[in-house]
Amino acid sequence: MPRGAAVRSRSAGPPAVRDPGETMETKPAAVPPSYAVPYARVGSTLDESDVEAVREVLFSGATLSAGPVRERFEEEFAAHVGARHALSVTSGTVALELAIRLLDLEPGDEVITTPQTYQATVQPLLDHDVRVRFADIDPTTANIDARRVAELVTPRTRAIVLVHYGGLPADMDALMRLARAHDLIVVEDAAHALGSVLNGRRPGALGHIGCFSFHSSKNITTLGEGGMITTDRDDWAERLRRVRGNQADMVLTARHGGFAGASGPPAGALYPGETYTHDCLRVRRSGTNAALSEAAAAMGLVQLGKLPGLVARRQAVAARLTAELAAFDTARVPVVPAGVEHAYHLFTFSVDARRVDRDELVRCLAAEGVETYLRYFPLHLMPEWRARGHGLGECPTAERSWFQEHMNLPCGPWLTDDQVELLAAALSRALDKATRG
């Protein structure tokens, strides 16, 4: 099985590359020369407003790193999410790495997480001597199943790391009740969930730490890469500012007395006052440079302003595909509970494997000119986690879903109305062909 976030279906090969001098008739009928309905390379829409925002920063004569544009982006993002603090970083993966640092995990601690996500969600845990326990998913939502989480909690459990799969918020009420009962920290991987709502609140402010990605494929982007961490805790925010700014993550104590011949930092010193007024009791980890550029933050501000329209378009495409699937009793879309707004970073549905050959469905869609990726291969079956003792049978719902039932379709603001209708028609024909007689 191939690895990665966007795992192309085992059945659908890459599109054929067309030679400029070649006619359409020379191409194999089963493999289109290009996809009429492609999967996203850029998950939002870009226009002159994005270009102008970046141009303004580039020619302003001001700093291109860690300046006022970044500060404004962070302030507006925090207000949108409803969190006290929002700190931008260079990628969603870096956001997750720094979030895991805040847990201060010790050898023998346990962390519960989901197998249904991109590997970056749990990859930072490989750097810690902890036991990772994968909780199976809810078959109706593909999110982590709170009941399975409850079964895995032990006295050594420190945290729950979850993802709002596809943009559908997880069962945060149940998970936060569990967290309060056992004094656990909840980390939300909200990379899919920007624009979602759960009972009037937004992912990233539902748990204790939220992590977002602005990768090219996400609901908004900051020049292709970028991320954000949200939290309500002032002490965590201060630690994050220190670490992303190339300072060590230290435990400090006030210094008694100054240095010989020095009363304090000189005017214009490059080092913070704590360098002179505090001593280091312990270094948790080294710092790093994770500063989001001013140009990236400028695009982020524009994209954040577009977010309601971008999500509305995703929801409209999803509604059309859901209506098409309603005619088939062999297909099931995730349940969207009352009080929830789904951001539809991914459009997901499942097929009845007894009646539909999922792999044949993917082949039929490819022949119709529809590009599909299956997201994601169960993480507990990846080699790095099998090396830690995980394996087949640990999360049977996630395994059955991936190997037999799970489907993702293109869904986003880049699709034209004509492409959406083509996709819906192709989906119906492909389901008919893939249904076992």
Rounded distance between C-alpha atoms, residue 303 and residue 91, angstroms: 16
What would the mean pLDDT of 175-182 be, rounded to a whole number?
98
User: Got the DSSP string for 213-262?
Assistant: E--TTSSS-STT--EEEEES-HHHHHHHHHHHBT--EEEEEE-SS--TT-
The pLDDT score that the predictor gives to residue 129 is: 96
pLDDT at 185 over 70: yes
pLDDT at 3 over 60: no
Q: Which amino acid is at 145?
A: D
Residue 2: the pLDDT is 33
pLDDT of residue 252: 83
270: number of Cβ within 10 Å = 7
Quick one: pLDDT at residue 9? 39
**Per-residue three-class SS string for 141-190:** CCCECHHHHHHHCCCCEEEEEEECHHHCCCCHHHHHHHHHHHCCEEEEEC
Q: Which of 17-31, 109-123, 128-142, 233-247 has the lowest mean pLDDT?
A: 17-31
Which whole number is the average pLDDT over 152-177? 98
pLDDT for the residue 23: 30
Superfamily of structural domain 307-434: Aspartate Aminotransferase, domain 1 (3.90.1150.10)
Query: By the 8 A CB rule, do 54 and 223 touch?
Result: yes
Residue 245: Cβ within 10 Å count: 14
What is the average pLDDT score of the chain? 90
Residues 6+ apart with CB under 8 A from 401: 116, 137, 139, 142, 350
**Could you read off the pLDDT of 29-65 as tens digits, one per residue?**
344 458 999 998 899 999 999 999 999 999 999 999 9
Model pLDDT, residue 246: 86
Segment 365-376 shows an average pLDDT of 96
Which residue ranges does the chain devote to CATH 3.90.1150.10?
307-434
pLDDT grade, residue 279 (50/70/90)?
Answer: confident
For residue 100, is pLDDT > 80?
A: yes
- In this prediction, residues 321-338 reach a mean pLDDT of 96
Q: Which pLDDT does position 29 carry in this prediction?
A: 37
3-state SS, residue 278? strand
Are residues 46 and 298 in contact, defined by beta-carbon separation less than 8 angstroms?
no
Mean pLDDT of 344-369: 97
The string of pLDDT tens digits covering residues 80-97 is 999 999 999 999 999 999
Q: Give span(s): CATH 3.40.640.10, the chain.
A: 48-245+288-295
How far apart CA 196 and CA 433 sit, in angstroms, is 35
CA 288 – CA 295 distance, rounded (Å)? 20
Tally of residues, the chain? 437
Task: Quote the pLDDT of residue 148.
Answer: 98
391 has a pLDDT exceeding 90:
yes
Report pLDDT digits (tens) over 115-147.
999 999 999 999 999 999 999 999 999 999 999
Report the alpha-carbon angle 262-263-268, nearest 5: 90
pTM: 0.89
Spatial distance between the Cα atoms of 72 and 163, rounded to a whole number of angstroms: 27
Residues contacting residue 56 through CB under 8 Å, at least 6 positions apart: 298
- The pLDDT, as a whole number, for residue 31 is 44
Query: 25-32: which pairs have CB atoms within 8 A and are 24 or more residues apart?
Result: 29/367, 30/363, 30/366, 30/367, 31/366, 31/367, 32/366, 32/367, 32/369
Region 417-436 average pLDDT: 97
Do residues 162 and 190 touch, judged by C-beta distance below 8 A? no
Mean pLDDT across the stretch 345-364? 98
**Which string of b and e fits 369-401 if b means at least 16 CB within 10 Å?**
bbbbbbbbbbbbbbeebeeeebeeebbebbbeb
Q: What is the CATH number of domain 48-245+288-295?
A: 3.40.640.10
Which tokens hold the place of 114?
A: 């989901």
Q: How high is the pLDDT of residue 417?
A: 97
Answer yes or no: is pLDDT of 294 > 80.
yes
**pLDDT over 70 at 192, yes or no:** yes
